[in-house]
Amino acid sequence: MRVLIIFFITLFTLAEDYFPDENWETASVEEVGLAENKVAELFEMTFEDDATMSAVLIKDGYIVHEQYADGFDQNSFGTSWSTAKSYYAALIGISLDRGEIDSLDDPVSKYVESYLTPEKENITIRQILNMTSGLEFPSHEHEMMFLEADHVKYAEKVGVENPPGEVFQYNNVNSMMIGEILKGATGKTAKVLLDERIFSQIGLENYTAWEDSAGNTMTYCCLDMSARDYSKFGLLFNRDGKWKDKQIISKDYVDESLQLYWGATPDMGWSHSDTRGYSLQWWISKFDDDAKIYNTSGKFGQFIFIDKERDVVFTRITKYRPSEGDVQKWGALGYLRFLGSINRALVVSRFLMDLGLIKLDDGSVSTPYTTADGESKEFYENYVKIIDRMADLEKDG
C-alpha cells in the first residue's frame, strides 16, 4: 500500500506542468504511468525505417525515451519540410491575439495588396490556413516553387481554379502566403516574428529558419533544429499555448487549430493520408473515443505528434545533413527548375552528388536537402499502427 501511495504522489508531482529549461529533465517510463513494452514497440516500429534519424517521446513534459541513428545525437539537426507550416500558422494566432489581424475570416486582400483582384479579393485567411483557398493546383503541387529564386513572386502569380472554401487541396502556395499576411499585419517578416514571439519565449535558440534568395521567409517549409527542440513546439500546443507563466498563443487559437475541420483528406500517394483530417495547418491522425492525436507533417517523414489529453509528444525526424547558411543559394543546381518536376530534380541532383560534381558542404549550394537515406518508406507503411500504439501507451489495468 505504501509503495502504491508513493507511486501516485510521484505521478502527481511529475504531472504538474513541468517545462524544460536548458537541460531537459527525464523520467522513467514507470514514473509517468506508461508501459515499457508499449514504448519499446513504438520505437521499434519507428526505427524499422532506416531513414529515421531521431525520435523523442515526452510525457508530462519529461523526456521518457529518445533514440538516435548511428552517427547522430540529441544535437543533430533535422529539417522540417512542411512541419514548418504549423509553426508559421501559430504566428497568425498570435497576431489575432494582439489585434493586428481582426479575424480569420478577414479577406487576405486586407493585408496583401496582390490579392486585390476580382478572383482573389474574397479568399479569407481561414481558407488559406485550411487549404481551401481554391488556388490553382498543378500536378507538381507547387513543390517547384522550392527551386525558384523568389518564392513570393511565384506564389502571387498563381491563379484561382475553384470557388474558395469548397475543395481541400494541399497547396504550398497557401502556406507561402502566410508570410505576406503577417508582413502586411505587423510590418515584420515571419522569420523575425517566429524568433521574437515563439522561439525566444520557449528557450529555443539553436535553429535555422530558411529564406529564399530574395529574402522571403519560406513559410511553407524549412526550419532546421534538433528533435528535442521540435518537441518544444509540440509541448507548447499540448499546454494550450502556455509556457511556464506566459500565454504565448491564446488557448482559443490552439483549440481552433486542433479541431476536426476537414474530416478526411484526399489520397496524395501516402498510404495513410486518406485517414487524416486537417485544420489550420495541422493534421489530425486520430479523432475518436480512444484518442485525439494531432500532428505536424513534413515531406519524407518529419512529424511532431501530440496527444493533449494524455500530455504526450512524440517527435520523429529523418536523416539530414545541414548545408551552410540560412538563405537559399542554388549555384550550379539552379537549372533544375526547368525540369518541371521535383522528383526529376531530386533524381538528377542526387546523381550529380553521387558523382561528386555537386556538394552541399562546400558553400556553392545552400538549401535544405534530404538525401535518399532520409526518405521514409516503412514509417509510412506502419503509420496507422504507430498512431494506434501512441494512443495506447499506458500500463494495462
DSSP string, 91-151: HHHHHHHTTSS--TTSBGGGT-GGG-STTTTT-BHHHHHTT-S-B---TTTTGGGGGSS-H
CA distance 279 to 159: 23
> Residue 54: phi, psi to the nearest 5?
-155, 150
CATH number of the domain residue 244 falls in: 3.40.710.10
3-state secondary structure 7-31: HHHHHHHHCCCCCCCCCCCECCCCC
pLDDT at 16: 66
CA distance 243 to 92: 18
User: Does any domain span residue 252?
Assistant: yes
Beta bridge partners of 49: none
pLDDT at 372: 95
Q: Around 219, how many Cα atoms within 13 Å sit in the side-chain half-sphere?
A: 29
User: Does any domain span residue 336?
Assistant: no
Q: Which three cell numbers stand for residue 102?
A: 481582426
Sheet of 282-287, strand order: 62-68, 52-59, 312-318, 302-307, 292-298, 282-287, 277-279
CA distance 170 to 168: 7
Query: Whole domain around residue 17: which residue ranges?
Result: 2-324+371-390
CB atoms within 10 A of CB 7: 13
Altogether, the residues listed in the chain come to a count of: 397
Whether the CB-CB separation of 69 and 319 falls below 8 Å is answered with yes
341: helix, coil or strand?
coil
User: Does any domain span residue 140?
Assistant: yes
User: Does any domain span residue 210?
Assistant: yes
Q: What's the maximum distance between 2 C-alpha atoms anywhere in the chain?
A: 72
> Residue 279: phi, psi to the nearest 5?
-160, 120
The parts of the chain modelled with pLDDT lower than 70 are 1-16, 262-275, 397
pTM of the model: 0.93
DSSP state letter for 265? P
pLDDT tens digits for range 259-272: 887 665 555 554 45
Question: Residue with C-alpha cell 556553392?
Answer: 364
In one-letter notation, the amino acid at residue 187 is G
Per-position DSSP letters for 231-264, written without gaps between them: HHHHHHHHTTTEETTEESS-HHHHHHHSS-SBSS
User: Does any domain span residue 332?
Assistant: no
In order of 74, 78, 199, 220, 336, the CA distances from 168 in angstroms are 37, 29, 30, 17, 29
User: Does any domain span residue 337?
Assistant: no
Q: Which three cell numbers stand for residue 312?
A: 504526450
Number of domains in the chain: 1
pLDDT at 271: 45
Sheet of 208-209, strand order: 78-79, 223-225, 208-209
pLDDT at 396: 87
User: Does any domain span residue 160?
Assistant: yes
pLDDT at 14: 47
pLDDT at 41: 98
User: Does any domain span residue 333?
Assistant: no
317: helix, coil or strand?
strand
CA distance 95 to 365: 35
What angle (nearest 5°) sits at the alpha carbon of residue 206, between those of residues 202 and 209? Answer: 95
CB atoms within 10 A of CB 194: 25
